[in-house]
Amino acid sequence: MAEGNVRHRDNCDPGRKCCGYCCTQIRNFSVKIGKTQILHDINLHLHCGELTALIGPNGAGKSTLLKAILGEVKHEGTIVFAGSGGESTGKPMVGYVPQQLEFDTAAPVSVKNLFSACIGRKPAFQKTSPKVTDKILECLGRVQAEGLIDKRLGALSGGELQRVLLALALEPVPQLLLMDEPVSGVDRKGLEVFYDIVSRVREKYDLTIILVSHDLDLVKKHADRVVLLNKTVILNGPPDVVYSDKRLHETFGLSEFINSDE
Amino acid sequence: MNHIYSLLDVILPFEWLSYDFMKNAFLAVLLITPIFGILGTIIVNNRMAFFSDALGHGAFTGIAIGSVIGFIQPIWSAIIFSIGFSILITIIKNKTKTSTDTVIGVFSSAAIAIGLVLVTSGGYNYNSYLVGDLLSISPKEVGALFILALIIIVLWILFYNKVLLVSVNISLARSRGINTLGVELAFTAIIAVAVTIVIQWVGLLIINSLLVLPAAAARNVSSNARQYNVMAILISFVSGLIGLILSYYLDTATGATIVIISAFIYFITLILRKRFA
């Protein structure tokens, strides 16, 4: 896991426009809702194939940042995706795995319906063509969830649903993948499986991933970069550096840091 | 129209279908129930039952305004008014933090009050819009219904996927590049038009049941979008047909009889529900 990312980091020359690898740049993001400044002066430079964990106390603006990147929340500043030569290719294609999909669990919508509504041309209530069915199975295969195709969304467990949503976010393969605490409400085993899949997907597709998480242990284990957010970027670096910085303790308050599983 | 009548005489030679007004009503049921069934599936998924009820009230106000203005057919003013009404509620619902229930409640009550004040001040007969009479539908109006049904079915096929995604989760739909406000506005406007046109024969008091009940029943016994749509159409049509026939023999209000049948079917599906959970 670490090898590829050391490569990315070593090649990063601040003097150059980009690092020689494709990357996503977030420049001067700020968000104001009403008169409240939620986020200000966010500058992030994220490389492909890197898993960036976004941590911070409640109300730090983590979810808001994701929503601003998605364009759901009004914001100032720009986001650009740059190819390996440093050439800007405009806004990145963004995939999104929401925190907890709030939906009507009694709704008669199957996993297949969800996918054919997204990728098929025919209305989802028609019979799915074999070609589209194969495509859906391929998508679900990326997260080892082929068996869930005919299940109703409301009948999935928390972990299964997250995997299905990840599969959906990966079709078409995005340049930037945003995940908002995708593991809350999932048991420990489901958690490990999910992180394994995320790591594999990142390597396979060379994705930039931003993951909002509260679980500081798992972040330490899996993330390549940790960004501590509290209204603005307070710390930004490899996990061991961020975790040993006393500002982390100050931001969270010591007690919360000890109870990191919360 | 005469061709259709004689065709009906040949394939459905029943006593209740021997009169022309019953043939018209039968054709209307054939057209209204499927489109109300499919529109209902998303209304129920989106928890919009109260909203569609308010649209009925908006339609009534529109008809009242049209009657007072006088120089255009009330139905046109009603369609324009209820589209505007649906757009206004949707936008305010999206912009404010007030609970949706409250927003809709306020608009719905204001609309019905304005409508009632207008019709009572003008001395118009508004009973037919409250209760409605399906048996009064004219051949020309059946033709209009046919066009309406055709338009809605085409839109349904073209935009179902987007509407479905928005109904699952708005953020998810937005992340797939769907203009969710646009979809919401278009969908509510379509319901507004359908409700406004059909309200003349079904009546304000029960029109919402035609939208909500078949879909609510279908939802109990289906586990994917295909079953849901097919069951909603089926339940809607069967209750429409049985209701029409019963109302003929029992001499009761057709719309209300239809609603009783679909409510009955709903309770049956509620019992069967566990098998499909």
For B9-25, how does the pLDDT look when each residue is reduced to its tens digit (9 = 90+)? 888 888 888 888 999 99
CB-based burial, B243-268: b 16+ in 10 Å, e otherwise:
bbbbbbeeeebbbbbbbbbbeebbee
Cβ–Cβ contact B172 with A under 8 A:
yes
B169–A107 C-beta distance less than 8 A: no
Nearest CA distance, A1 vs chain B (angstrom): 28
Sheet (strand A232-237) strand order? A94-97, A176-180, A208-212, A51-55, A225-230, A232-237
**ipTM of predicted complex:** 0.84
* pLDDT at res. A68: 87
- What is the three-class DSSP state of B196? helix
Residues B186-207 have a mean pLDDT of 90
DSSP-H helix ranges across A71-187: 111-119, 130-141, 158-169
Residues B262-271 have a mean pLDDT of 95
* CA distance linking residue B227 with residue B218, whole number of Å: 8
* CA distance linking residue B97 with residue B196, whole number of Å: 29
A195: which 2 tokens? 């992180």
- B226 neighbourhood in chain A, CB within 8 Å: 113, 124-127
E strand spans, A48-75: 51-55
Query: Phi then psi for A58, rounded to 5 degrees?
Result: -60, 135
> Does position B173 have pLDDT exceeding 60, yes or no?
yes
B167: which 2 tokens? 């109904």
- B162 neighbourhood in chain A, CB within 8 Å: 117
- B176 neighbourhood in chain A, CB within 8 Å: 118
Chain A residue closest to B154 (CA)? A123
CB A129 within 8 Å of CB A121: no
Residue B173 burial (10 A CB sphere; 0-12, 13-18, 19+): buried
Please calculate the CA angle B175-B177-B180 and round it to the nearest 5 degrees.
Answer: 90
> Does position B155 have pLDDT exceeding 90, yes or no?
yes
> Does position A183 have pLDDT exceeding 70, yes or no?
no
Cβ–Cβ contact B180 with A under 8 A:
no
* CA distance linking residue A36 with residue A74, whole number of Å: 13
Cα end-to-end span (Å), chain B: 46
* pLDDT at res. B276: 64
Cβ–Cβ contact B226 with A under 8 A:
yes
pLDDT in tens, B101-121: 888 899 999 999 998 898 888
Please, which residues 184-223 of chain B have a Cβ atom closer than 8 Å to chain A?
218-219, 222-223
B172–A108 C-beta distance less than 8 A: no
Question: Tokens 């990063």 appear where?
Answer: A12
CB B50 within 8 Å of CB B56: no
CB A182 within 8 Å of CB A194: yes
Residue at B222: amino acid letter? S
* pLDDT at res. B5: 87
Q: Are strands A51-55 and A225-230 parallel, antiparallel or unpaired?
A: parallel
- B171 neighbourhood in chain A, CB within 8 Å: 67, 70, 72, 96, 98
- What is the three-class DSSP state of A234? strand
- A95 neighbourhood in chain B, CB within 8 Å: 175
Please, which residues 51-80 of chain B have a Cβ atom closer than 8 Å to chain A?
none
Q: What is the DSSP letter of A211?
A: E
Among A165-169, B91-95, B130-134, which range has the highest average pLDDT? A165-169
pLDDT band of B83, cuts 50, 70, 90: very high
Domains within chain A, CATH numbers bracketed: 2-93+174-258 (3.40.50.300), 102-171 (no CATH)
Rg (C-alpha) for chain B, rounded Å, is 19
Chain A residue closest to B155 (CA)? A123
Residues A103-131 have a mean pLDDT of 89
B157 Cβ contact partners less than 8 Å away, ≥ 6 residues apart: A123
Nearest CA distance, B28 vs chain A (angstrom): 25
A70–B175 C-beta distance less than 8 A: yes
Nearest CA distance, B104 vs chain A (angstrom): 21
B70: which 2 tokens? 């006088």
A113–B172 C-beta distance less than 8 A: no
* pLDDT at res. A163: 87
B224–A109 C-beta distance less than 8 A: yes
Nearest CA distance, B228 vs chain A (angstrom): 7
Residue A70 burial (10 A CB sphere; 0-12, 13-18, 19+): middle
Question: Tokens 């998480």 appear where?
Answer: A213
CA atoms within 13 A on the CB side of A73: 20
pLDDT in tens, B218-239: 999 998 999 999 999 999 999 9
* pLDDT at res. A3: 40
Residue at B234: amino acid letter? L
> Does position A156 have pLDDT exceeding 60, yes or no?
yes
Identify the CA nearest to A202 among candidates A50, A46, A15, A80. A50
* pLDDT at res. B123: 75
Question: Tokens 């029109």 appear where?
Answer: B207
* CA distance linking residue B233 with residue A204, whole number of Å: 45
> Does position A202 have pLDDT exceeding 80, yes or no?
yes
Of A67, A120, A125, the CB nearest to B229: A125
* CA distance linking residue B238 with residue B256, whole number of Å: 14
Chain B residue closest to A101 (CA)? B169
CB B275 within 8 Å of CB B268: no
* pLDDT at res. A134: 92
What is the domain count for chain B? 1
- What is the three-class DSSP state of A214? coil
- What is the three-class DSSP state of B225? helix
A108–B228 C-beta distance less than 8 A: yes
Please calculate the CA angle A31-A162-B38 and round it to the nearest 5 degrees.
Answer: 90
Nearest CA distance, A108 vs chain B (angstrom): 4
Nearest CA distance, A26 vs chain B (angstrom): 18
Q: How many CB atoms lie within 10 A of CB A189?
A: 9
A25: which 2 tokens? 């740049």
* pLDDT at res. A87: 65
Residues A25-30 have a mean pLDDT of 86
Instruction: Name the average pLDDT for chain B.
Output: 89
CB A151 within 8 Å of CB A110: yes
Chain A residue closest to B43 (CA)? A107
> Does position B90 have pLDDT exceeding 60, yes or no?
yes
Cβ–Cβ contact B258 with A under 8 A:
no
> Does position A115 have pLDDT exceeding 80, yes or no?
yes
Residues B55-80 have a mean pLDDT of 83
Instruction: Name the average pLDDT for chain A.
Output: 80
- B229 neighbourhood in chain A, CB within 8 Å: 125
The domain containing residue B176 runs over which residues? 2-276
| CATH number of the domain where residue B205 is located | 1.10.3470.10
* CA distance linking residue B69 with residue B24, whole number of Å: 30
* CA distance linking residue B104 with residue B10, whole number of Å: 48
B175–A96 C-beta distance less than 8 A: yes
* CA distance linking residue B256 with residue B242, whole number of Å: 12
Of A108, A124, A165, the CB nearest to B161: A124
Nearest CA distance, A125 vs chain B (angstrom): 4
pLDDT band of A8, cuts 50, 70, 90: very low
